[in-house]
Amino acid sequence: MSTDLRDLYQEIILDHSRKPHNSGHLDEATCEAQGNNPLCGDRISVYVKLDGDRIQDAMFEARGCAISVASASMMTDMIKGMTVDDAKAAHARFLELITDDDPPQLADDDQLAALIGVRDFPTRIKCATLPWQTFSAALDGGADEVTTE
Ligand code: ZN
């Protein structure tokens, strides 16, 4: 990856972590779950409002590092309006992207591309995946807290 691209991604992550999109409590949530990454101290609640099979709205509340907050911000932007199946596919694609030895190629303007840099920092991968894991637990009706450990 070029240095310019790396700087750009750094910039996107910082921007999302400073001014997270969709941050707050979603009163009309139809499902929610809590996630915990003890390795870093990240805690997150993810709220989803489903209308049939479609994700009408998604919000989160997080106390955590820049990576976890930025990932939650990008995730909620992305999944709003998706069907549950599409959102699950996006989760799988994201995991592949940051953990697979041979990750799929992404367009530079793909929102998730900004997080590909965490591949270089194995301990940060859990920060990036926590919001997605928690979101997935919410869809599955998760009563228990999700933990990365
Ligand atoms: Zn973290």
Average pLDDT of the chain, as a whole number? 90
Distance 38 CA to ligand 1 centre (A): 9
Q: Does 146 map to a domain?
A: no
The whole-angstrom separation of Cα 135 and Cα 75 is: 9
When divided into structural domains, the chain yields a total of 1
Tell me, yes or no, whether 24 lies in a domain.
yes
**Is pLDDT at 5 greater than 90 in this prediction?**
no
Looking up residue 62, the CATH number of its domain turns out to be 3.90.1010.10
C-alpha of residue 42 to centroid of ligand 1, in Å: 5
pLDDT of amino acid 119: 83
The full DSSP string for 42-91 is EEEEEEEEEETTEEEEEEEEEES-HHHHHHHHHHHHHHTT-BHHHHHHHH
Confidence of residue 63 (pLDDT cuts 50, 70, 90): very high
Residue indicated by tokens 């929610």: 32
Supply the pLDDT for residue 27: 96
What does the pLDDT average to over 25-33? 96
Whether residue 125 is contained in a domain is answered as yes
**Residue 113 confidence (pLDDT):** 81
| 40 part of a folded domain | yes
C-alpha dihedral over 21, 148, 37, 103, to 10 degrees? -50
State in Å: Cα 77 to ligand 1 middle: 20
Task: Tell me what pLDDT residue 143 has.
Answer: 63
Determine, yes or no, domain membership for 86: yes
Q: CA 34 to CA 47: how far, in whole Å? A: 9
The predicted structure's pLDDT at residue 70:
95
Whole-number Å distance, alpha carbon 51 to ligand 1 midpoint, is 31
Q: Give the Cα separation of 50 and 37 in Å (integer).
A: 26
Which of 141, 66, 136, 62 has the alpha carbon at shortest distance from 95? 136
In this prediction the pTM is 0.92
The answer to the question of residue 128 being in a domain is yes
| Cα 103 from Cα 112, distance rounded (Å) | 12
Q: What is the pLDDT of residues 96-119, one digit of tens each?
A: 888 888 877 777 677 778 888 888
Residues contacting 129, CB < 8 A, separation 6+: 71, 94, 95, 98, 148
Q: What is the pLDDT of residue 28?
A: 96
Residue ranges making up the domain that contains 44: 3-141
